[in-house]
A and B are shown apart, each in its own frame.
Chain A
Amino acid sequence: MTSLQIEVKQLSKTYEGGIRALQPLDLSIGDGVYALLGPNGSGKTTFMRILATLLEPTTGTAHIDDLDIQRNRLEVRRMLGYLPQDFGLYPTLTVAEQLDYMAVLCDLGSVSQRKGAVDRCLQQVNMGQYANRKVGGLSGGMRQRLGIAQALLNQPRLLIIDEPTAGLDPEERIRIRSLLAELGGHGIVILSTHIVADVEATADRVCVLRFGVNLFTGTVDELVSRVQGKVWLLDVEPAELPAIKEQYTFTGVYRTQGGLQVRVLADEVAHTGARQVEPNLEDGYIGEVERARAAAAEA
């Protein structure tokens, strides 16, 4: 299978009422897992819905290989698998029936061809034993897995998944992360999340968005390296916490025996017992968001 390339140029979206969900955005996305990281309201879902041909951009273009996504919606949808953050399905159908319904919509052909696709997807998300269970009776995790299964029916070369692990228990989260990492080897997977651990576990490249503005685009290592030498671990008393909070940007607080351990971002730290540590993705992400916040405050 040839590799896929998405080119996004000056793509923006302003909703009715003047709400600017996405500022002009330029991105280049190749094969692998591409994570969109950002707080709620940062424009991740808007961007994904535009790529999924469900929303028209206000300005700009997006091409998948040579296909303009606005002019070639049908062709784009043929190569697309999409799972929105909040999705509903038909509760009275069984899991297998629901997937077959979606397979019909994907134009997968005869009953036997559709059945083959349904069985394959059920295996992929490890739901074979729930094929005859009603969709309305599924747990949150199983619903999410069913959502991913329906996105995989047409063996998409472009998979867009919005917050796939939100609300899942740790075991389910790990299962879905490993599935996404596996899928990244067969095309483009665009993953939106505000759970940094998901990105750490699966993504090849990251885009950090805030208020519709692209703050960073690059690999996970590049994002982490931007806060290299700026991450500190401090042992503090609980009473000290408010003062330290005023002074530094927190990236984590952990309870230890007899006190607290605080992870902060700073060029220098004037605190006894402070030690520099290796940064992780969460530090890098918060560093970018804080930098943007400071710049906005200055402006």
Chain B
Amino acid sequence: MLLRLKHRILPLAGYEMLTYLRGGSGLAALVLCFTVGMVIGAADGATASLVAYRLGRFGAIGLGFLALPLLAAGARRDYTSGASDVIQSRPQQAHELMLARWLGGFLFLLALQVAAAVAAFTFLLVLGDAPADGTGPRASLLALGHAIVVGALPLLFLSVIGYCVADLLQNVLAAAIIALYWLLVLLGRDYLSRVFDFSLTQNALAYVLISAGVLFAAMAVARYRQKLANYRRPNVPVLAAVFIVAGLGLAVRFVLVRHDPPLHLHPVAIKVASQTIRSERLPGFWLPDQFGKRVQLADYAGAPLVVGFWSPAEPESLETLRALALVHREYADRKVGVIGICISDDMWVGRRVARERGYEFPMVTDSGTHWAEDLQTASPLTEAYEVSYLPAVFVADGGRNLVRKLETVPQSLLPAIRTELDRLLGGVATGAQGRPGS
């Protein structure tokens, strides 16, 4: 087996990868990914966690959709190039050739993800600020590995399905079915959409097993079609069956046992969402911050309050964080409360960013965030606060009564908050001395 891996599968996979890389579209994809990585890494206010989050999304969505047509075309290359007879007349084993070719294609996609990640983190290390939590470049390297793994998971599934379905159905358009599936998962808001989302690390094991099962099943069919004398040996079909049964079993278990119901459908989340800011009082919540402490509006009774929304998927909203940090520092002696609310389905990215940047004001993540067509319905708090675009900042008085909702251009955010707070604090013209953000 090892000899076959060394002398057949790996050399063929290497050539397959070379074929993708040397093709005009492959090279263009590599340059594009490197450029996207540069943009992500050089973005204003980028941190290792933010870069990792965005690279993960880029891998799952951008590269995911690229993977399907690319691998499907690779599966049909012999027929389109006319090399079919030359290849088939060789004493190769069709299932090994199939494995090698898929592996080459997957490695190429991984190379694209790595190119984007390396570009992003290189720019981050050169241009970005050092993390405030003292982790230094180590944090970036860990996040780099995380970004590559998170991006690789959906690529694994999509490349297997794209390649195998195109090969089995002998039609590159078969990949369109998978693209449709992925689109439905991305747009889906219901409970099952989280189980069917193969880009989520919590589903990784199930989808890795299903991918392996599909790959082995396709290999078994390829070997059967080749009709060599040994095609009746059952090892490949048995492996396929084992992987598929294990993967599907795990997925069913996720549905029945392990998966939490979607948090945005939880009664508490529904209650949160049903609050309305039109009552002129800030809608309440009770969520953990980056220090693990539960935060609620009642903690700030009697003090003016600034609540700012941001999202790692929305680069412009990072200005909210900068403004909140400055306001927190400037008005610390006036007991002004500041709360950052992260809108993300990743429960950790908001906390990591707060730690990396050394924010002392509480940063909470709306745990009911989910994929939605518009921001206002993407989380219970955006629904309650009627946030339809970011950045959005709310200034309230000591009785939680809304003084001003600020949905303005990022550059005007800080002066607008200061104006409202100064007015609220009794017409005092300045907050703290020497405003660095002015």
Contact = CB atoms under 8 A, between A and B. Distances in A.
A102 B86 contact: yes
A107 B89 contact: no
Contacts of A110: 7
Contacts of A111: 11
B83 A87 contact: yes
B90 A105 contact: yes
A93 B19 contact: yes
Given A88-B83, A109-B7, A102 B230 contact: no
Contact of B89 (A77, A86, A88): A77
Contacts of A106: 90-92
B86 A89 contact: yes
B244 to A, nearest CB: 28
B86 A90 contact: no
A292 interface: no
A39 B91 CA distance: 31
Given A54-B89, A78-B91, A88 B82 contact: yes
A47 interface: no
A83 interface: yes
Contacts of B5: none
B89 A90 contact: no
A150 interface: yes
Contacts of B97: 105
Nearest to A97: B15
A143 to B, nearest CB: 11
A106 B89 CA distance: 9
Contacts of A105: 12, 87, 90-92, 97
A77 B90 contact: yes
A123 interface: no
B81 A89 contact: yes
Nearest to A107: B91
Given A77-B90, A104-B8, A107-B92, A90 B83 contact: yes
B228 interface: yes
Most chain A beta carbons < 10 A, residue from B7, B23, B86, B92? B86
B19 A90 contact: yes
B18 to A, nearest CB: 7
Contacts, number: 89
Nearest to B85: A84
B276 to A, nearest CB: 60
Nearest to A52: B89
B171 interface: no
A72 interface: yes
Interface string B1-18: 000000110011001001
A82 B89 CA distance: 7
Contacts of A97: 15, 18
Nearest to A56: B227
Contact of A93 (B11, B18, B227): B18
A49 interface: yes
A82 B86 contact: yes
Given A74-B91, A92-B18, A97-B15, A83 B86 contact: yes
Interface in B68-93: 77, 81-83, 85-92
A219 interface: no
B8 A107 contact: yes
A145 to B, nearest CB: 14
Interface in A59-80: 71-75, 77-78, 80
Nearest to A49: B85
Contact of A54 (B18, B88, B92, B230): B88
B82 A104 contact: no
A251 interface: no
A73 B83 contact: no
B19 A92 contact: yes
A216 B422 CA distance: 107
Interface string B35-74: 0000000000000000000000000000000000000000
Contacts of B88: 54
A122 B229 CA distance: 32
Nearest to B81: A88
Nearest to B86: A87
Contacts of B8: 104, 107
A154 B81 CA distance: 23
A250 interface: no
Most chain B beta carbons < 10 A, residue from A71, A74, A83, A150? A74
Contacts of B86: 82-84, 87-89, 102, 147, 150
A53 interface: yes
Contacts of B89: 52-54, 77, 80, 82
A138 B227 CA distance: 34
Interface in A89-123: 89-93, 97, 100-102, 104-107, 109-111
B406 to A, nearest CB: 55
A101 B12 contact: yes
Contacts of A72: 229
Nearest to B6: A110
B7 A73 contact: no
A197 B19 CA distance: 39
A64 B83 CA distance: 25
A52 B91 CA distance: 11
Contact of B85 (A75, A78, A87, A107): A87
A246 B198 CA distance: 75
A104 B12 contact: yes
Most chain A beta carbons < 10 A, residue from B87, B90, B230? B90
Nearest to B12: A104
Interface string B86-121: 111111100001000000000000000000000000
A150 B18 CA distance: 19
A92 B23 contact: yes
Nearest to B90: A105
A210 B6 CA distance: 48
Contacts of A84: 85-86
A83 B89 CA distance: 9
A101 B11 CA distance: 8
A275 to B, nearest CB: 47
Nearest to B22: A92
A86 B90 contact: no
Given A73-B227, A90-B15, A92-B18, 8 more contacts: A49-B85, A71-B229, A77-B89, A87-B83, A92-B19, A102-B86, A102-B90, A105-B87
Closest 10 CB pairs of A and B: A88-B82, A92-B22, A88-B81, A105-B90, A77-B91, A82-B89, A105-B92, A84-B85, A74-B228, A78-B91
